[in-house]
Amino acid sequence: MKEYAVLIDSTYCTACNTCAYRCIQEFRYHTQAAKGLFRTFVAANDEGIYHKRCMHCLEPECVKQCPVNALTKTEYGPVLYSIDTCIGCQICVKVCPFGIPQFDEATKKIVKCSLCAQRVGNGKEPACVEACPTGALQFGEYKAMMAKAKDLAAKRKLTLYGMQEAGGTHLFVLTEGDPVKAGYPAVAKRAVKMKALPADGLVRVPVVAGLVLGGLKKLSDRKESIASEKD
């Protein structure tokens, strides 16, 4: 399967949050959204616009640290979450450098973007990208989105965030000013290691983790369990 990424061009974003509303409809998590728990949300301040959503890291710390393999990294980009497997330990909340996973005290489960895996698996783009009225969100093959992000950053003198932060992500963000001032976390940059082995040296098979959220059926069964990380 092809590897995908999302490009966010903040210069076209109006912070209308159409992406957030469409996401709520797609996954039917109205109750959680009412409590301020979103899979994606856009905030605007005097320094810029911030899209709070999973960065889908190339080497996700949440996947490495999850003791029950509730979080898995797929070969096509998304970091997926299995609500059935999760034990609510909140380790992912603590270790994510971008501060993304949100804990729902009522359900004792996590709220996190899945990059619309159920849509991508059927050849569609994520719901947020489809709904964006200004074209600020774009979706495509990873290398193509990376090349486009670099090109736009150079031509329009924009700052590119997500390229090397935490070792690289599947979300490229273009901003006119400092992305940190706009709201993005100040995350240490590391050289991107494509298809790198995890710290324990074990080869993990990328899989599509089962998703069950708001009545959503599982996309597929796990082909091979990911070895648990030991403290």
138-147: per-residue pLDDT in tens?
999 999 999 9
Residue 199 lies in a domain: no
pLDDT classification of 206: cutoffs 50, 70, 90 = very low
Q: Report percent pLDDT > 90 for the chain.
A: 81
Question: Residue 20 is part of which domain span?
Answer: 4-182
Report whether pLDDT(197) > 50: no
Coil/strand/helix, residue 105: coil
What is the total residue count of the chain? 231
178 has pLDDT over 50: yes
Given a cut of 90, is residue 209 above it in pLDDT? no
Residue 23 within a domain: yes
pLDDT confidence bin for 105, thresholds 50/70/90 = very high
What's the total number of domains in the chain?
1
Is 29 a domain residue? yes
User: How confident is residue 193, by pLDDT bands cut at 50, 70 and 90?
Assistant: confident
Asked, for residue 51, whether it belongs to a domain, the answer is yes
Does residue 9 fall inside a structural domain? yes
Average pLDDT over residues 181-205: 66
CATH number at residue 111: 3.30.70.20
pLDDT > 80? residue 208 = no
Which is more confidently placed, 113 or 196? 113
Can you give the pTM of this predicted structure?
Answer: 0.81
Residue 223 lies in a domain: no
Tens of pLDDT, residues 117-170? 999 999 999 999 999 999 999 999 999 999 999 999 999 999 999 999 999 999
- Residue 121 inside a domain? The answer is yes
Question: Averaged over 109-116, what is the pLDDT?
Answer: 97
> What are the tens digits of pLDDT across the range 28-58?
999 999 999 999 999 999 999 999 999 999 9
Band of pLDDT at residue 192, cut at 50, 70 and 90: confident
